Structure 1
Amino acid sequence: MRSFRDAKTMAQTLRDSLTGKAVTISHSESLELVSKMLGAADWNTLSALIQASRQEPAASAAQQTERLPSYPAMPLRDLVPFPTAIYPLFVGRQKTMQALDQAFHRQREMVLAVQKDSAVDEPGLDDIYDVGVLAGLIELYPQSDGTLKVLTQIYRRVMIRRFLAETGTYVADITDLSEGPIPAAPELIEQAVARFKIYAKAWAIQLPQTHPPLEQIRDPGRVADIICAQVKLPIRDKQGLLATLDPVARLERVHALMQMTS
């Protein structure tokens, strides 16, 4: 398999073939079937592996002359951040404070990595999920108890290649993850936004103000991320959504989760 898109083509071919035999499955179901055919646990795992392997030759060549991009990093215990959203984060770990200090003195960017187990105080690479985000730091607010509050703007998904405590701070090496061209999914967007409004009312969630309005956005990946940032789900489920690189599959998945929990 040459690229991330090949798996999606296989899934569409499978779906078309089954439709011809009077068997109807959804886009996400066909992706899950192809993933299992190729030996992966699910589509999230396969898409991340394919994306990473596609970038690996270029990354390896670049490493001959320079290292992968390295950023100060922050491990998160109980939050999964999504692109475009703004989050206030509260920091108490000394190594994270040092990472923040380095980030503010450099490019004001840092990697946010989600911990698999919130009880781990000194996480390493095996203690965090592979897919994280790159965030911009907007403002820092020292708190009276010695902790810090930092306002962050989430930029994009990244694959975390290295994560460790180095000279008293957290550092991460990353490669970028791409979702490819924006697919058209107007009916799915309409259905997901309608379901989200019902979900938001049931959970007393204030609808986010977006420009253009949510129902007018034509990028299913952006719509999915806006909704994902608001829904109330376990960390594992939210991380699964963050790691779902296919925009249509991500929106289908959060739509289904809202139906299950509303």
Structure 2
Amino acid sequence: MRDFRDAKAMAQTLTEALAAKSVSLSHSESLELIARILGFRDWNVLAAKVQASQHATAPTASPVAIPPGLTELPIFPMRDLVLFPQTVAPIFVARDKTRRAVERAIAGGSRVLVVAQKHADDDRPNALQSLHPVGVTASVINSQTQMDGVLKVTVSGLQRTAITRLIDGEFLAAEIKPIEEQRGQSEEARSLSRMVLDAYRIYANIDLSSLPVGQRVRFGLPSPENPTLLADTVAQRLPIGIDEKQQLLETSDVVARLEKVLELIRTARPEQ
């Protein structure tokens, strides 16, 4: 089954399928469209994710979110973002402490903890009560300083992680504890995944009828055979508030998370 690593092939298939319908779409336009279908902001972000996967030392294995023995990570506190596992996102860093956290992460294995602040206007979220208790261990894919001096960091979410203690020094760090998923491969989770997938397609008005039959139904979304990934992918895409996304992130029971996602889809206003 295709995934984000097959983005270029997907774009080529889309271009050819639309051409057969006398619809002209350049390859670069197809790449941008595929990136959005897969839940990425644009092709540049997706390309970084693809490149990172190609450079992995063991490409067929799942990434290790927290290497053995590592119990402390630099923190990236987010004002308006809840990062989910298996999601790539750009982060724009202006605060000095977070810049130093980036430097430490890059120098020490590129692992960080991305966690949402409880209050977006808090400029010094350096206490446990200032941050949500659960974030996501992430890998720093790349970083670059923009013309305005803001540091842009692209991260890839890996695993739900709880904060057990904050360490406030030159940069904010935390002692951490990985959170294990429950019922992620149960038959109930797979059944709910199929319901979520169908409901989201209707909600988002996904219509790829011009594509070959074998690709049109679930193109661009994870398989219902991977309930954990599907729940997080849809949760990241839904236009809901930070608090609602944080609740989904903190729900380690995959069946319960899928039920919440399904309810949010059913009560949300369809996209226009």
Instruction: Provide the residue aligned with 1:173 in structure 2.
Output: 175
Q: Does 1:156 align with 2:163?
A: no
Partner residue of 1:133?
Answer: 136
Shift of 1:113: 1.3
**Which of 202, 207, 228 is equivalent to 1:221?**
228
Contact kept? 1:115, 1:128, Cα under 8 Å: yes
Equivalent residue number for residue 36 of structure 1: none
Cα distance change, pair 69–250 in 1 and its aligned pair in 2 (3 A): same
Scaled by the length of structure 2, the TM-score of the pair is 0.65
User: What is the alpha-carbon root mean square deviation over aligned residues?
Assistant: 1.9
The 1-side partners of 2:242 and 2:205 are apart by 22
Report how many residues are paired.
187
Alpha-carbon deviation of 1:112?
0.8
After superposition, the C-alpha distances for 1:98-129 in whole angstroms (9 at most, x for unaligned) are 00001001110101111011111101211111
Matched, 1:121 2:123: yes
State, as a whole percentage, how many aligned pairs show the same letter. Answer: 33
- CA deviation string 1:213-249 (max 9, x = no partner): 6363313222100101111111110000000110011
Report Cα offsets for 1:118-168 as digits up to 9, x if no partner. 1111012111111111000000011111110011110000011122431x2
> Which AA in structure 2 matches 1:247?
V
What is the deviation of 1:212? 8.8
Contact map agreement 1:133 1:154 (CA 8 A) in 2: yes
Q: Deviation of residue 75 (structure 1)?
A: 0.3
Point out where structure 2 has 5 or more consecutive residues left out of the alignment. 1-68, 207-217
Counterpart of 1:151 in 2: which secondary structure?
strand
1:212, 1:247 → 2: CA distance?
22
Match of 1:199 in 2: 203
Give, as a single letter, the amino acid of the residue that structure 1 aligns with 2:161: V
The aligned amino acid for 2:239 is K
Equivalences for residues 61-72 of structure 1 within 5 A = 69-72=71-74
Distance in 2 of aligned mates of 1:106 and 1:89: 19
For the structure 1 residues 153 and 101, does the alpha-carbon distance in structure 2 shift closer, same or farther, using more than 3 Å as the test?
Answer: same
Return structure 1 stretches of 4+ with deviation > 4 angstroms: none
Please state if 1:146 is matched with 2:149.
yes
Structure 1 pair 119/69, CA: closer, same or farther in 2 (3 Å)? Answer: same
Is this contact kept in 2: 1:95–1:165, CA < 8 A? Answer: no
Gapped regions of structure 1 (runs ≥ 5): 1-66, 203-210
Distance 1:200 1:95, change over 3 A: same
Aligned partner (choices 111, 117, 128) of residue 109 of structure 1? 111
Match of 2:246 in 1: 239
- 1:54-96 deviation per Cα after TM superposition (whole angstroms, max 9, x unaligned): xxxxxxxxxxxxx971111110000101000100111111000
Q: Deviations over 1:194-214 (max 9, x none)?
A: 111122239xxxxxxxx9963
Distance of 2:205 and 2:99 partners within structure 1: 37
TM-score (norm 1): 0.67
Moved more, 67-76 or 136-145: 67-76
Tell me how far apart the structure 1 counterparts of residues 177 and 89 of structure 2 sit (CA, whole Å). 23
Q: Mark the CA change 1:177 to 1:212 in structure 2 (over 3 Å): closer, same or farther.
A: farther
* Contact 1:109–1:134 (CA under 8 A) maintained in structure 2: yes
The amino acid of 2:197's aligned partner reads: V
